[in-house]
Chains A and B, each alone.
Chain A
Amino acid sequence: MELSGAEIVIQALKDEGIEHVFGYPGGAVLHIYDALFKQEAVRHILVRHEQGATHAADGYARSTGKPGVALVTSGPGATNAVTGIATAYLDSIPLVVISGQVSTPVIGSDAFQEVDMVGITRPCVKHNFLVKDVYELADTIKKAFYVATTGRPGPVVVDIPKDITDPNIRIPYKYPEQVSMRSYRPESKGHRGQIKKAVDLMLKAKRPMIYTGGGVVLGHASEQLTRFTRLLNYPITNTLMGLGSYPADDKQFLGMLGMHGTYEANMGMHKCDVLIAIGARFDDRVTGKIATFCPHAKIIHVDVDPASISKTVKVDIPIVGQVKPVLETMIELLEQDKSRSNQDDLKEWWAQIEEWRSMNCLEFDRNSSKIKPQYVIEQLHEVTAGNAFVTSDVGQHQMWAAQYYKFNKPGRWINSGGLGTMGFGLPAAIGVSIANPDAQVACVTGEASILMCIQELATAMQYSTPVKVINLNNRYMGMVRQWQEFSYGSRYSHSYMEALPDFIQLAESFGHIGVRIEKPEDVRPALEEAFAQTQRTVFMDFITDDSENVYPMIEAGKGHHEMRLPPGMTTKRELA
């Protein structure tokens, strides 16, 4: 088969099993767009801003476990994509971003729409390639997908100069079946000896905690994690990125930990004697003050990326490997060894945890005449029977979504945790909806965040993605306002949203349904009506209590045991 470079790009995507590409055309990728036009296997979704393309591809990837693909032109198209690439990088999401580049003879000459994409993205990609020879194109694309999806996943950029895609230069095409790279051999199963040591240690624990993160979602090991956790009957907490990998309605689940984690999860961390960390990276939002992090614990850490291990917190038993096979080996060893000497200690530990849990730290005022944002999320959970894909933007609404939507399945909670990118939610929801056309998709957002990629409402219209936008409109950059209230003497410097648009008219002007909800009693019916609209995008503008804060909170420089609880809630017992 003889193909041009442009056709190779499309054919390689087909051969890779890619069905959707999110993109935006421009000069440097016109040959590729022409090749796209002439076929039907790969469907192109036209976004309205390249940031949207990368976020949509990202949402697509998070909800399917398959790599997301974005296609952008050189120069401004490429730079617009960078925020989305960095977002995917910090959350380890497999993306392949194809960017056009100026033709090879003029690279480096400040040609029209030239930027050094490989240089710009180097610090925020897992790897990137500049294709300098059409004969290397197919191989490079294969490598890009291989690198993006294996080991610790991440975004890969393939920068393709325009002359490489020249329709007049046709070469024999064969998509490689495999790749082998001597410099890249992702570790897989984990060292059996280390796993054995870890199992021995965990069986001796008197006050164990299981702390798991995004790695369990990325490694499709939710089933194994659930089996493992139940077998041990140990308490488990998830990071923001790990939510859904263990069923939130299970009694062993203590909720999220960290800055806005639950009292029981954070206290459990503080008091535990053995910490079993799986696919989590000891992020500063999770650890709080490092000096007081898990002061009594021996730590086991399973991670596919050796660099995640002992990066911020020194661990005692490191295990480099994929969560799934490591958990399988652990389960196998646990099933062999039925002798459990720690049952009495465990009873005591659970009693302590139940006492913490009985504080009910996520309780909020249910009698308010204003709409409480927490209530909206609770209702969203009920109306969607906990089955929706929920994307979010960044801010208070993100935390409330994480705390009050009880995720029971992995890959349903889709948010930017590491980079914290406002603007992520809507395009990500569109990507999710494209990948899961029959699913309920909600985008929980704030009036500030939604404006950052609002143009994607047009994409939602064009492709009839029935996304339900839940705008928790508090007229503030609430998360910023909360920090200013707590740490800056309530000096609300530039965190008030003035001159807000009329979101109803805005949604309608894009062709969608817009609804404003101002009273608590209207919340439930509005959600029900919106989700009954299975074919339409509905923008719900919830006018919420503007003074609500996210609790509990570990403020900067504090430890897990120094949480700030909701006003009026105090700990029953002095904490050691």
Chain B
Amino acid sequence: MRHIISVLMENEAGALSRVAGLFSARNFNIESLTVAPTQDPTLSRMTIVTTGNDSVIEQITKQLNKLIDVVKLVDLTDSSYLERELMLVKLYAVGEVRDEVMRLVDIYRCKILDVSPTTLVVEVTGASKKLDSFLSILKKDAVIEVVRSGATGVARGEKALTV
């Protein structure tokens, strides 16, 4: 099962490597990991996308909580939540391909950020699944670069991860 775990942690040097190290040392999967400071500059918020059965996820959250720098965490997938990821795709787009891409951009509500005679840079945001689906529709040999931010997320409604 795919889980999205949001972690509030002390904004200290080395905090990120403690989390990354934990995942590799304990053989936990990590699909993506994003981190940035919050409105409170002493706190960072990290979003980790991982997979595992219930007992693995239980260990992951317990081991994360055990890290001294971790203040609080929540498994977003436990209740209803919003998920967003940002993707930039650089495409080789001339002739028919260019038209095809323009149509997809419309359907997927993407933005074109950069245009050159032969290339386009497209910005796509959405749940990671939507990004996957956009990529799967593109012609493979048209894709020059794919840059994904990794998923971030937040719970719906009044539920919040704060100190």
Contacts and interface: CB of A to CB of B under 8 A. Distances in A.
A231 B17 CA distance: 48
Q: Which of A126, A147, A182, A183 has the most CB of B within 10 A?
A: A183
Q: Which of B9, B68, B163 has the most CB of A within 10 A?
A: B68
A101 to B, nearest CB: 14
B17 A183 contact: no
A182 B18 contact: no
Contacts of A182: 71, 163
B124 to A, nearest CB: 35
A127 B71 CA distance: 14
B140 interface: no
Q: Which of A119, A181, A182 has the most CB of B within 10 A?
A: A182
A314 B55 contact: yes
A196 interface: no
A311 B59 CA distance: 7
Majority SS at the chain A contact face: mixed
Interface string B114-126: 0000000000000
Given A182-B163, A307-B62, A118 B14 contact: yes
B159 interface: no
Contact of B9 (A183, A305, A306): A183
Given A182-B163, A307-B66, A311-B59, A130 B14 contact: yes
Contact of B69 (A123, A183, A314): A183
A130 B13 CA distance: 9
B63 interface: yes
B14 A183 contact: no
Contacts of B163: 182
B: contact size bracket: 20 to 34
Contacts of B66: 305-307
A251 interface: no
A181 B65 contact: no
Interface string A150-183: 0000000000000000000000000000000111
A278 to B, nearest CB: 19
B55 to A, nearest CB: 7
Contacts of A305: 66
Contacts of A118: 14
A123 B62 contact: no
A183 B63 contact: no
B68 A123 contact: no
B58 interface: yes
Contact of A122 (B10, B21, B63, B71): B21
Nearest to B14: A118
Nearest to B10: A183
Contact of A307 (B21, B25, B59): B59
Contact of B17 (A122, A147, A307, A310): A122
B4 interface: no
Nearest to A122: B21
Interface string A121-135: 011001100100000
Interface in B66-98: 66, 68-71
Contacts of B13: 130
Given A122-B21, A130-B13, A183-B70, A306 B65 contact: yes
A119 B17 contact: yes
B58 to A, nearest CB: 7
A122 B62 contact: no
A183 B68 contact: yes
Interface string B132-159: 0000000000000000000000000000
B75 to A, nearest CB: 15
Contacts of A314: 55
Interface in A3-57: none
Given A183-B9, A183-B10, A310 B21 contact: no
Interface in B1-54: 9-10, 13-14, 17-18, 21, 25
Nearest to B9: A183
Contacts of B14: 118, 122, 130
Contacts of B59: 307, 311
Contacts of A310: 55, 58
A130 B163 CA distance: 25
A147 B68 CA distance: 8
B63 A307 contact: yes
Interface of B: 9-10, 13-14, 17-18, 21, 25, 55, 58-59, 62-63, 65-66, 68-71, 163
16 contacts: A122-B18, A122-B21, A123-B21, A127-B68, A183-B9, A183-B10, A183-B68, A183-B70, A183-B71, A184-B68, A305-B66, A306-B66, A307-B63, A310-B55, A310-B58, A314-B55
Q: Which 8 pairs of residues, A with B, have the shortest CB-CB distance? A: A307-B62, A127-B68, A183-B71, A123-B25, A306-B62, A184-B68, A122-B21, A307-B66
Given A183-B10, A305-B66, 16 more contacts: A118-B14, A119-B17, A122-B14, A122-B17, A122-B18, A122-B21, A123-B21, A127-B68, A130-B14, A182-B71, A183-B68, A183-B70, A306-B65, A307-B63, A310-B58, A314-B55
